[in-house]
Structure 1
Amino acid sequence: MNETSFAALRSAAQDIVDEMIADPYGLTSPSVYETARMVASTPWLEGHQQRVEYLLAQQHEDGTWGGPAAYGLVPTLSAVDALLSVAGTQDAPRIAKAVESGLAALADRFPRDAELPDTIAVELLAPWLIEQIDQRLSGMDDRGALPARLDLQADTGTLDKIRELLRRHTSIPEKTWHSLEALGAPAVRSDTVTPTGGAVGASPAATAAWLGEPPHTDAVKASLEYLHRTQARHGGPVSGITSITYFELAWVVAALAGSGLDVDIPAQVADTLRTALGTDGLGAGPGLPSDSDDTSAALHALDLLGKPESVDCLWEYDTGLYFTCFPNERTPSTSTNAHILIALADRRGQGDTRVDGAVERVGDWLVDQQEPDGRWMDKWHASPYYATACGAAAMARLDAPRPSAALDAAVRWVLDTQHADGSWGRWEGTGEETAYALQVLNHQAAPDRRSLEAIRAGRAFLTAHVADGREDTPLWHDKDLYTPVRVIRAEILATLAATRHLADSEQEAGA
């Protein structure tokens, strides 16, 4: 890579940092699921017509919305329900056609026994949306060719339990605030829920559910202002998670710090993270519950910035075998444990036997979670390339036979799954997944010819991705798939910079 192109990478990386400092919320892509909830619940909010248009424009040719395969179920349910709520009020022919094809897709493309991806609150949202659609269909005077109900079933047990807690005015788990819209009338102005900066669970849909229908009093002015501000960010459509302040800061710092890109990280980044850390760590952003993933990432970022903080806030997530992301979670996270291992590995050899022991056993647990083909999977991301990059980074910090063998297996899997155009991706080649694959290959002490050729081809794909300004495919788990935009841009730029010496090695080897 010549100096001009490297300087361009550095400049683009600095732009990301500067944008991040200027934006108190973090940048996430619009959400079909969340936008549809706003169409159904807040037709009175400015931007309503733009949200309807967004839904119509986002429908795929097969009638679905959202991600591939089962990732399309929740956004398709949400979009169909929303368009049913406005059927006959505006642009009736287009809406009717979209509803009809959406219902057909729900009947044909999602088997009743399909295993759903572990997106946020799927166990609440899927049964609730099926209920919603069935109620709308049964209440229609003239359904025409539309069915009387969906031929879908979902377990309502967990949903019913949480609804009952609200009916009794009993506190519900804070992590469920993010999906408050599924809980119905008891959620309206519930005194068991506390908005932060007007937002409930950093979610427009949850906030709208808590507000209820107009008229609204001055007591909820902050929540109304939050909704107006949030819809304006994307010109009507809304993101599913609207505050990733600490997540964005920590991930961008971690991506750029070891890349060789000499960017200026203002002192306020460390100050913000240090201030946010509490006895149980911090969450992705204000108004979200603390979790060990964002906490460990923030601790690692602070180490990289030369502002270390105590890791004691992580111990309450320790099960003795692995670390949970949230208390009482259904499934553990491999990427979270990889991030925790990395944060704790920074503190090894300082006389804290608890840290040293945790690094060893989390490393063993991660090796045990590796798939036979060498990849890892995770609950927070649709792509195995993300989890594998996290796992490989953790293994690279451990000097022992099992982690070394695990890293070798991850490298082999990456090499075996590269696409013909040099990219990597679960469904198709993407910039984000290609960056993760290159990060795995970059952990090798001495890459062989095959690895160097794969790196060269991957870098060529990434370079074109950046030069063409291509959008990054939503792959992160929220209620549906989303993109943390600046985080992914930073990962891509940092990967191009960090692997440039390997590209030079390939060029020399071919000379």
Structure 2
Amino acid sequence: MSLTAGPAPVTHPGDTRAAQARDLVAAMVDNPAGETSASVYETGRLVALAPWLPGHDVRVSWLLDRQRGDGGWGGPGGYALVPTLSATEALLTVLGRGDQGAAGALAGATHRGLTFLTGALDAGTPPDLPATDLIVPALREAVDRHLAQPPAGLAGWAGVRLPLPANLDPGRLTRVRGLLAAGRPVPEKLAHALEVGGDRARRAAGVRPAEAGAVGASPAATAAWLGHPDPGPALDYLYAVGRRGPVPCASPITVFERAWVLGILARAGVPLTPPGSLVAELRAAVGVSGASTGPGLPADADTTSVTLYALARLGRPLDVSRLDPYDTGRHFCTWPGEDGASVTTNAHVLDALGQHPAHPGVAATVERVAGWLVERQEPDGRWGDRWHASAYYATYCVLLALAEHASGAAARAAVDRGVGWLLETQRADGSWGRWSGTAEETAYAVLALAGAGRPEDTRVAAALLRGRRRLSEWDGRADGPELWHDKDLYRPTLIVRAAVLAASWSADPTSTRRATP
């Protein structure tokens, strides 16, 4: 009897990627709150607001470990302002409480943070992040209070007042705090940043936690509302989200994560059979006013449209009239009363409408929204957006929506310009990225070029070959810098992993044969 092993079974790349897709879906089922990177801003607020919460020392150490050599925290440029304010104020609070266990390290880190802030606050307009116009004045005011009588080791900062960026008006913060003091209802979207209310946020009568205890799906907002460790759902939420120490900006992100992951994979043709319960829960999340990222956050057109698109691709469509409340007549707002406008929200609306071409009025709305998106293209061919730091994400969203659903000459020309920008900005190693080449941004560029409808363009084929080779060198890793916009930058882990997987799937020569219809 021969003991010689037979040939090893051949594993096809498509089989491996299909298994990875199944793993992604299983991860969403196992952790319905969602997976996202930890936030310096939010963790700093928890250090300041809830020292009684288990994991406090871990959070302080985590902040110290993440301080940059220049004294700041967070992303490049203006993206460092909000997290550095939060971390610095948190360390000042710890020192002010008399915690001398690591006073020298804390004072040194705080001094470096303050030095960084004196320049950063004078540097001009910060990036368009949610609630920046409230957070920066609130934290600047808190730091100034600390510096009126600074803790030991920081005497040289006595009486120093930090500057306020010229474009930030503290009047809006005053009005929000007035609403809280009067016990009046606070707009639902403001609950996500309730911590800016200071003492007035504590048990604010105009704020109601979600059923699971979170206020605005935010650990900081929930801690500000709770004030003290009183038993109840809010405390249970904080114990659950903070059990490992550092915390994310938003949790749970259930609907957001599921809609984006399923939509990205379905669009790329990755075969999916998600559990019926998961699809049913996603369907049930779309109410008469649409869907929200998670409990405690308002419904919005972005989450609603991606959810509608994913459900349609999975064969469980819902009526797109759920988007009607967001139609301004020119474009779609992310939520009523939005300051500014989002191109990715409108690209996602175009995707959702494109799944229902026979619905009354859809054709005219598609033409109108496509025209609005074309008008917002930058001269060099890219699109930028308020929900992501990288133009590669916005360009991917808009370029695919126009290529698939808009038929006019202007839209085709815009797609050509977008393709040109992607070709011109590919890095020498085959990657793409705003600050450096990343797997996430490379995946967006690959997906955009692959879906742009240019199969005979040799330049596109060569760029795709280089980009896919670079993705294979990263070997499916989806780590990298935080690029998504919340109160500071964050990375929705499974969504990024889905984009990398989808781009890799599009590189599989058998993916068309294996893809579901």
Residues 14 and 511 of structure 2 are in contact (CA less than 8 Å); yes or no, is this contact kept in structure 1?
A: no
Match of 2:504 among 484, 496, 505: 496
Amino acid at match of 1:365: W
Match of 2:362 among 355, 360, 372: 355
Match of 2:394 among 378, 387, 392: 387
The number of residue pairs the alignment matches comes to: 493
Superposed CA offset, 1:77-130 (max 9, x none): 00000011112513111111111111111123x252511111110010011010
- The answer for the alignment partner of 1:315 in structure 2 is 324
Greater displacement, 185-194 / 55-64 = 185-194
- The answer for the alignment partner of 2:40 in structure 1 is 32
Match of 1:400 among 398, 404, 408: 408
Is 1:181–2:195 an aligned residue pair? yes
**C-alpha displacement at 1:149, in angstroms?**
2.6
Is 1:422–2:430 an aligned residue pair? yes
- The answer for the alignment partner of 1:200 in structure 2 is 215
**C-alpha displacement at 1:464, in angstroms?**
2.1
**SS of corresponding position for 1:256:** helix
Task: Flag the 1:10–1:502 CA change in 2: closer, same or farther, 3 A.
Answer: closer
- The answer for the alignment partner of 2:233 in structure 1 is 222
Once residues 434 and 116 of structure 1 are traced to their aligned partners in structure 2, the CA distance between those partners, rounded to angstroms, is: 26
**C-alpha displacement at 1:470, in angstroms?**
5.5
**SS of corresponding position for 2:12:** helix
Superposed CA offset, 1:27-50 (max 9, x none): 111000000000111111100000
- The answer for the alignment partner of 2:515 in structure 1 is none
Amino acid at match of 2:197: L
- The answer for the alignment partner of 1:146 in structure 2 is 157
**C-alpha displacement at 1:322, in angstroms?**
0.3
Superposed CA offset, 1:280-333 (max 9, x none): 101011221100000001111110111111111111111100000011111100
Once residues 141 and 28 of structure 1 are traced to their aligned partners in structure 2, the CA distance between those partners, rounded to angstroms, is: 34
Once residues 117 and 72 of structure 1 are traced to their aligned partners in structure 2, the CA distance between those partners, rounded to angstroms, is: 10
- The answer for the alignment partner of 1:277 in structure 2 is 286
Residues 150 and 157 of structure 2 are in contact (CA less than 8 Å); yes or no, is this contact kept in structure 1?
A: no
**C-alpha displacement at 1:26, in angstroms?**
0.9
Once residues 70 and 404 of structure 1 are traced to their aligned partners in structure 2, the CA distance between those partners, rounded to angstroms, is: 35
Amino acid at match of 2:265: L
- The answer for the alignment partner of 2:311 in structure 1 is 302
Once residues 61 and 465 of structure 2 are traced to their aligned partners in structure 1, the CA distance between those partners, rounded to angstroms, is: 41
Greater displacement, 79-88 / 221-230 = 79-88
Amino acid at match of 2:335: F
Superposed CA offset, 1:396-436 (max 9, x none): 12111111110110010011111111111111111111111
Match of 1:114 among 124, 134, 139: 124
Is 1:101–2:109 an aligned residue pair? no
Percent identity of paired positions between Structure 1 and Structure 2: 44
- The answer for the alignment partner of 1:509 in structure 2 is none
Once residues 359 and 47 of structure 2 are traced to their aligned partners in structure 1, the CA distance between those partners, rounded to angstroms, is: 56
Is 1:375–2:382 an aligned residue pair? yes
Once residues 49 and 466 of structure 2 are traced to their aligned partners in structure 1, the CA distance between those partners, rounded to angstroms, is: 47
- The answer for the alignment partner of 2:75 in structure 1 is 67
**SS of corresponding position for 2:435:** coil
Amino acid at match of 1:127: P
Greater displacement, 375-384 / 153-162 = 153-162
Task: Flag the 1:449–1:351 CA change in 2: closer, same or farther, 3 A.
Answer: closer
Once residues 36 and 180 of structure 1 are traced to their aligned partners in structure 2, the CA distance between those partners, rounded to angstroms, is: 15
**C-alpha displacement at 1:7, in angstroms?**
2.0
Q: Which blocks of at least 5 consecutive residues in structure 1 are unaligned?
A: 505-511
**Correspondence 1:210-289 to 2 at 5 A:** 210-214=225-229, 216=230, 218=231, 221-232=232-243, 235-289=244-298
Q: Which blocks of at least 5 consecutive residues in structure 2 are unaligned?
A: 1-9, 513-517
Residues 455 and 502 of structure 1 are in contact (CA less than 8 Å); yes or no, is this contact kept in structure 2?
A: no
**Correspondence 1:407-446 to 2 at 5 A:** 407-442=415-450, 443-446=452-455
**SS of corresponding position for 1:379:** coil
- The answer for the alignment partner of 1:123 in structure 2 is 133
Superposed CA offset, 1:231-274 (max 9, x none): 12xx1000010111111111111111132332321112221122
Task: Flag the 1:141–1:269 CA change in 2: closer, same or farther, 3 A.
Answer: closer
**C-alpha displacement at 1:178, in angstroms?**
0.4
**C-alpha displacement at 1:373, in angstroms?**
0.4
Residues 107 and 150 of structure 1 are in contact (CA less than 8 Å); yes or no, is this contact kept in structure 2?
A: no
Superposed CA offset, 1:358-394 (max 9, x none): 1110000000000010000101111100100011011
Once residues 170 and 149 of structure 1 are traced to their aligned partners in structure 2, the CA distance between those partners, rounded to angstroms, is: 35
Once residues 499 and 224 of structure 1 are traced to their aligned partners in structure 2, the CA distance between those partners, rounded to angstroms, is: 47
Once residues 21 and 434 of structure 1 are traced to their aligned partners in structure 2, the CA distance between those partners, rounded to angstroms, is: 27
Amino acid at match of 1:388: T
- The answer for the alignment partner of 1:190 in structure 2 is 204
Task: Flag the 1:494–1:470 CA change in 2: closer, same or farther, 3 A.
Answer: closer
Amino acid at match of 2:217: A
Once residues 107 and 430 of structure 1 are traced to their aligned partners in structure 2, the CA distance between those partners, rounded to angstroms, is: 31
Once residues 146 and 297 of structure 2 are traced to their aligned partners in structure 1, the CA distance between those partners, rounded to angstroms, is: 32
- The answer for the alignment partner of 1:166 in structure 2 is 180
**SS of corresponding position for 2:293:** coil
Once residues 469 and 104 of structure 2 are traced to their aligned partners in structure 1, the CA distance between those partners, rounded to angstroms, is: 45
Once residues 278 and 12 of structure 1 are traced to their aligned partners in structure 2, the CA distance between those partners, rounded to angstroms, is: 31
**Correspondence 1:409-488 to 2 at 5 A:** 409-442=417-450, 443-467=452-476, 469=477, 471-488=479-496
Once residues 416 and 148 of structure 1 are traced to their aligned partners in structure 2, the CA distance between those partners, rounded to angstroms, is: 51
Amino acid at match of 1:288: L
Residues 472 and 485 of structure 1 are in contact (CA less than 8 Å); yes or no, is this contact kept in structure 2?
A: no
Once residues 66 and 425 of structure 1 are traced to their aligned partners in structure 2, the CA distance between those partners, rounded to angstroms, is: 18
Residues 121 and 162 of structure 2 are in contact (CA less than 8 Å); yes or no, is this contact kept in structure 1?
A: no
Once residues 483 and 123 of structure 2 are traced to their aligned partners in structure 1, the CA distance between those partners, rounded to angstroms, is: 23
Amino acid at match of 1:314: L
Once residues 489 and 299 of structure 2 are traced to their aligned partners in structure 1, the CA distance between those partners, rounded to angstroms, is: 21
**C-alpha displacement at 1:499, in angstroms?**
3.1
TM-score normalised according to structure 2 size: 0.92
Residues 452 and 503 of structure 1 are in contact (CA less than 8 Å); yes or no, is this contact kept in structure 2?
A: no
Greater displacement, 193-202 / 440-449 = 440-449
**SS of corresponding position for 1:358:** helix
